[in-house]
């Protein structure tokens, strides 16, 4: 197989990275304002950059997990809300039920917060 064909095949297999021009512009502006930060990151080895990226994702996932546990604990303390949420998710497939329960619980918590804040203003 000719080299040109091999290169074309390889490019076809690689995922295309989508970029958002607005986000890129914001990043460029931030870099202009913080050139030393760019210099710092450019000086790091790829392995360290990857580990820093994964650490950030790990911290966000940990925060989300903690928040989900707080929401679940809140639902457990309120049996009437738990019954309402369980009725909403009863037809959801078992594989998706936990995620649907948490989503419904977050929605219910937001509704409760809005109701209580409206009651204070009235």
Per-residue pLDDT tens over the stretch 69-108? 999 999 999 999 999 999 999 899 999 999 999 999 999 8
Contact 100, 89 (CB under 8 A): yes
Domain encompassing residue 116? 26-121
Residue 86 resides in a domain: yes
pLDDT digits (tens, 9 = 90+) for 17-65: 788 999 999 999 999 999 999 999 999 999 999 999 999 999 999 999 9
CB 71 within 8 A of CB 109: yes
Residue 5 lies in a domain: no
Residues across the chain: 122
The two three-digit tokens of residue 109, written as one number: 């918590």
- Better-scored residue on pLDDT, 109 or 27: 27
In a domain, 62, yes or no: yes
108 occurs within a structural domain: yes
Measure the CA–CA gap between 65 and 28, rounded to whole angstroms.
Answer: 32
* Number of domains within the chain: 1
Within a domain: 74: yes
Residue 10 lies in a domain: no
Q: Are 101 and 81 in contact (CB under 8 A)?
A: no
């Amino acid at each position: 197989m000719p080299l040109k064909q091999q290169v074309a095949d390889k490019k076809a297999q690689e995922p295309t990275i989508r970029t958002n021009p607005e986000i890129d512009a914001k990043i460029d502006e931030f870099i202009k304002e913080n050139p030393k930060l760019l210099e710092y990151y450019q000086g790091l080895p790829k392995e360290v950059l990857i580990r820093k990226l994964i650490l950030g994702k790990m911290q966000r996932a940990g925060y989300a997990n903690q928040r989900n546990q707080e929401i679940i604990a809140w639902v457990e303390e309120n049996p009437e809300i738990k019954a309402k949420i369980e009725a909403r998710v009863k037809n959801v497939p078992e594989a998706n039920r936990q995620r649907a329960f948490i989503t419904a619980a977050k929605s219910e918590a937001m509704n409760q917060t809005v109701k209580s804040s409206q009651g204070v203003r009235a």
